[in-house]
Amino acid sequence: MKILLVEDDNTTGNYIIKGLASAGHTVDWVKDGRDALAAGLDGGYDVAVVDRMIPGLDGLNLVKSMRAASIRVPILFLTAMSGVDDRVEGLEAGGDDYLVKPFAFSELTARINALVRRPPIATEKTRLRVGDLEMDLVTRTTSRAGQRIDLLPREFSLLELLMRNEGRILTKTMFLEKIWNFNFDPQSSVVETHISRLRAKIDKPFDQPLLHTVKNTGYTLHARR
């Protein structure tokens, strides 16, 4: 395998490289997060092993940046940050596995092998469409019937969630969880306010509504049936 190792500690890095090389693998070792991102963009890796506490760009933001750039290489966090919240952060950022230091080399190789055996991650959609409403996730633009619609960041996230769940009813709680991360009181009218603003932009200028209110339940987005 060709492996990207992101580790700034010389002792740990040399130990890992020696073990992986003896198993016949090729390892590119970088010590800085920005250099690691550049290496990841070049591609060709079967797996990446990433420490969280590295200079330049910390491991967590490195992985977020890699995923945002559609780099789908399997990623194993290898770090001394061992708390449950740390593990959750790593996996939520886009890591595929999490191993805490100090570690047994046999477990490291077993986890690397397990990641490589997993089926390839399907290519994520970069464009969403519901009726004549289109969203480009790369350029972060939205249009309906060929007419550009300017959305604020939170409105864009709200609409993206609705479009990804076309035809499904999403509750207020779901929006608070996915978009606001529970930072608002559930009794707040923040969801209703943003839905109203979104509806004014994607529906009011057009003949057919796409955003529908389901009384006492939530909201759904779908074209005329």
Q: What is the DSSP letter of 223?
A: -
Q: 3-state SS of the chain: helix, strand, coil percent to 5? A: 40, 20, 40
Q: How far is CA 152 from CA 142, 155, 162, 177, 197, in A?
A: 11, 5, 15, 19, 10
Residues in contact with 83: Cβ distance below 8 Å, sequence separation at least 6, in sequence order: none
Q: Give the integer Cα–Cα distance in Å for 96 and 75.
A: 5
Q: Specify the 3-state DSSP secondary structure of 19.
A: helix
The sign of the CA dihedral 203, 209, 211, 212 is positive
pLDDT at 187 (0 to 100)? 66
pLDDT tens-digit readout, 94-135: 999 999 999 999 999 999 999 988 765 555 567 899 999 999
Entry pTM: 0.55
pLDDT tens-digit readout, 171-208: 988 888 888 766 556 567 889 999 999 999 999 999 99
